[in-house]
Amino acid sequence: MGKNIKISYDKDSKVLVLEMKRAKSADSEIKDNVIIDYDKKGKVVRVNIYDFSFNNFRESSNELRDFARNYRSF
């Protein structure tokens, strides 16, 4: 079963949003400029990356790649 992730970017506020599924957030984890929202079962609902710059994307690409690899374990 494949997972469809909706990706959006607001260039005015510089926020990249990765929406894993349409569900309400019950809890959040904050680390630097990244907020991960979880549903009531502890599954990732959304990842918000604030102050995101495509010019600096290479610097954060390793973290995003690690998250994508580990996403199935959430």
Per-chain mean pLDDT for the chain: 83
Residue 38 maps to a domain: yes
Given a cut of 80, whether residue 5 has pLDDT beyond it is: yes
In a domain, 1, yes or no: no
**Residues of the chain with pLDDT > 70: what percent?**
80
Domain around 18: 6-73
**Residue 63 contacts by C-beta under 8 Å, 6 or more apart in sequence?**
34
> What pLDDT score does 63 carry?
72
Residue 26: inside a domain, yes or no?
A: yes
Report yes or no on 21 lying in a domain. yes
* pLDDT above 90 for 35: yes
| Domain assignment present for 44 | yes
User: Residue 15's pLDDT is what?
Assistant: 93
Q: How far apart are CA 52 and CA 2, in angstroms?
A: 27
Confidence band (pLDDT; 50, 70, 90) for 2? very low
Q: Distance between CA atoms of 2 and 4, rounded to whole angstroms?
A: 7
Answer whether residue 6 shows pLDDT above 80. Answer: yes
3-class DSSP assignment, residue 32:
coil
pLDDT at 70 over 80: no
Look at the chain and report how many structural domains it folds into: 1
